Amino acid sequence: MVYNCIVPETAQTILKVNLMPQDAFTLKYVIKELDEKLRGGKVSRINQPAKDELTLFIYTANGTVKLEICAHAQNCRINLAEGDKHSPKEAQAFCMLLRKHLQNAQILSVTQPRFERIAAIKFDCAGDFERAERVLYCEIMGKYSNVILVENGKILGAMKTATLESGAKRILFTGAAYELPAPQEKTDPTDTAALAAAMQGRRCDADFIANNVTGICYSTALDIEAAFGDDATAEDIARYVSGEFLSPCVTYKKGAPDDFKACCFYGEKKSYPTLLQAQTAYYAYVCAKKAFEDKKRRLDGALRTAEKKCEKRLGIILTRLEECKDMESVKLKGELITANIYAIERGASKFTAVNYYDENSPEITIQLDSRLTPAQNAQKYYKRYAKLKRTVAALSVQKKDTEEEKAYLESIRCQLEAADDMRDFEEAETELTALGLIKAENAPKGKKRQTPAAPFRRYEYMGFTIIAGRNNMQNERLTKGLAPADMWLHTQKYHSSHVGILAEGRQVPEEVIKVAAEICAWYSQARDGAKVPVDYTLKKFVKKPSGAKTGFVVYTDYSTALATPDRHPELAVSDGAD
């Protein structure tokens, strides 16, 4: 369940500060649970999905678990994860080093050196000719995060190396002695006497705790203030750090996961049996959100490049068409020369004629080439006219094709902007690949990569099923799959998802059409509009023109409803196969 509590007034200002869930206090209980979970387990596989991320598959008495270690500045962590990430074809050097030294090694313990943001995983490594104890230090320290393998106090390798020449405060390269980071000049929260002395005469609010107590970030300090007020004692802080109030949870902000905590006395939250479960749930959301944003950014970048090229090409076409706008004037001059050919002196550079094609019969001066005869001058104008005519004909076709391509790219952009999850990108990515805008991902040798058909967005209302496409390919498949008597909807003069109402031989009520129109308006270019015109008609009146782009149709016999964009999440049903 999700609970709502009141945030202390003093805490509300601190919420503006950049929070980090994995401080030494939180990490202490993560490490404790990891030790219970992983002790005695054996490393079966090691992957490095990214340059700053490791995955260790560990076989334990309760089955295989996946330990994820991330040294990324923003999402640094050590946690248990679900699912599997894509691994590069060629393993990175640090991954190869860990495979060499830790493959099949047994985990002896997971501990926290001092009260630091470090998890030390001790391994018993038995080979054919040697046996050694090695320690993998996972430093969860923001932009200074790192993963370092150590044997007998000497560094065997590090994910991020550093030398004194690079200006680093610690030497981190193969063969150097491993040293823990220099301790901060703060008070140990378990030393109540020293903490009481530091707090003497001071207001013990969240700001003071975070700046003066070791291993506690603003997020945790904020919770301590929520629990004890701004007059917490040294004993209160020691009790909190000792785990007396342990209650693992994921906190929420505006309905979305915002943090995970070992304790929480304020705000919206969802409780979990263990801190590892809370952490796994939180980072599952964070990683899914990051993957969604990365994918959207990649597709958006490719689409933006194509749109710019399309607009540039259209601009060139329009400029050239503008240059051809005097085409009829050129033809007129040729005809006037022909009509007055016996009145024009040979070698003249110009002559004036009456434009009898104009009802006012104005005079017009025509430039001539004095080196040519009057007949040759007329032919020169006719040839120029013919050339301009051919140019206009070719440019008109190019203009039409370019405008259609521009509209098609706009439809893809509409779908990217309306995307809710990764499934919305699946076939859109196929479209962009087919257009040559992005490179197709490599498939295993001998196999052709196929994109699975994602399910339609599906809703139930008043006994009727409403379906909506996620992209052009789905829109085409949706429209094609509707029965002739089913209802079909699309926004008027805006790109949008195709929406269908499965009638199943029944008369579709106005209320159902209204809801379907609101969904259609939501998944359209006009989402931000107050009232959006949505056309609806029977599927039998919807046709795809020959040679039209994917998802493009024409329709007749339609009516129009003004709809307020509404996603209607309360009517959505679990997705199934199309």
| DSSP labels, 55-74 | EEEEEETTEEEEEEEE--TT
**Average pLDDT in the 1-6 region?**
37
**Average pLDDT in the 348-360 region?**
87
Q: Which own/partner pairs from 356-363 qualify as long-range (CB within 8 Å, at least 24 positions apart)? A: 357/332
Complete DSSP assignment for 219-286? HHHHHHHHHHTTB--HHHHHHHHTTTT---EEEEETTEEEEEES---SSEEEE-SSHHHHHHHHHHHH
pLDDT of residue 21: 53
pLDDT bucket at 30, cuts 50 / 70 / 90: very high
Q: Name the residue ranges covered by the structural domains of the chain.
A: 2-18+186-271, 38-139+142-166, 327-394, 457-571
CA atoms of 546 and 347, how far apart (whole Å):
56
Segments of 276-431 assigned E as strands: 350-354, 363-367
Residue with tokens 């009727």: 464
**Separation in Å, CA 245 to CA 98, 248, 265:** 38, 10, 9
pLDDT of residue 3: 35
Token pair belonging to 303: 């689409």
Token pair belonging to 112: 């926290």
Burial class (CB in 10 A: 0-12, 13-18, 19+), 263: buried
Buried b vs exposed e over 373-398: b needs ≥16 C-beta within 10 Å? Answer: ebeebbebbbeebeebeeebeebeeb
Q: Decide if 455 contacts 575 (C-beta within 8 A).
A: yes
CA atoms of 12 and 350, how far apart (whole Å):
84
| Secondary structure class of 304 (helix, strand, coil) | helix
Q: Decide if 537 contacts 518 (C-beta within 8 A).
A: no
Orientation of helix 374-417 relative to helix 275-323, angle to 10°: 170
Token pair belonging to 434: 């087919």
Residue with tokens 């387990």: 41
Burial class (CB in 10 A: 0-12, 13-18, 19+), 528: exposed
- Residue 550 amino acid letter: T
- The tens digit of pLDDT for each residue in 378-396 reads 999 999 999 999 999 999 9
Token pair belonging to 571: 């009517």
| Secondary structure class of 154 (helix, strand, coil) | strand
Tell me which architecture the domain covering 38-139+142-166 has in CATH.
Roll (2.30)
- Cross-strand partners of 352: 365
- The tens digit of pLDDT for each residue in 131-178 reads 899 999 999 998 889 999 999 999 999 999 876 655 567 788 899 999
**Residue 241 Ramachandran class (φ > 0 left, ψ -120 to 50 alpha, else beta):** alpha
Nearest to 70 by CA among 19, 142, 170: 142
- The tens digit of pLDDT for each residue in 520-559 reads 999 999 988 889 999 999 999 999 998 888 889 999 999 9
- The tens digit of pLDDT for each residue in 237-246 reads 999 999 899 9
Beta pairing class for 2-3 and 42-50? unpaired
The overall longest dimension of the chain from CA atoms, in Å, is 119
Token pair belonging to 508: 């579709």
- The tens digit of pLDDT for each residue in 218-235 reads 889 999 999 988 888 899
- The tens digit of pLDDT for each residue in 72-91 reads 988 899 999 887 666 777 88
CA 214 to chain centre: 36
Q: Decide if 145 contacts 119 (C-beta within 8 A).
A: no
Highest mean pLDDT among 126-130, 178-182, 260-264, 485-489: 485-489
Dihedral sign, CA of 204, 210, 212, 214?
A: positive
Dihedral sign, CA of 46, 48, 49, 54?
A: positive
Nearest to 98 by CA among 50, 38, 133, 54: 54
CA atoms of 111 and 120, how far apart (whole Å):
5
Q: Decide if 214 contacts 191 (C-beta within 8 A).
A: no
Beta pairing class for 106-111 and 53-60? unpaired
pLDDT bucket at 270, cuts 50 / 70 / 90: very high
Residues in the chain, how many? Answer: 578
Q: Is the pLDDT of residue 418 over 90?
A: no
Q: Is the pLDDT of residue 348 over 80?
A: yes
Mean per-residue pLDDT of the chain: 87
CA atoms of 182 and 185, how far apart (whole Å):
9
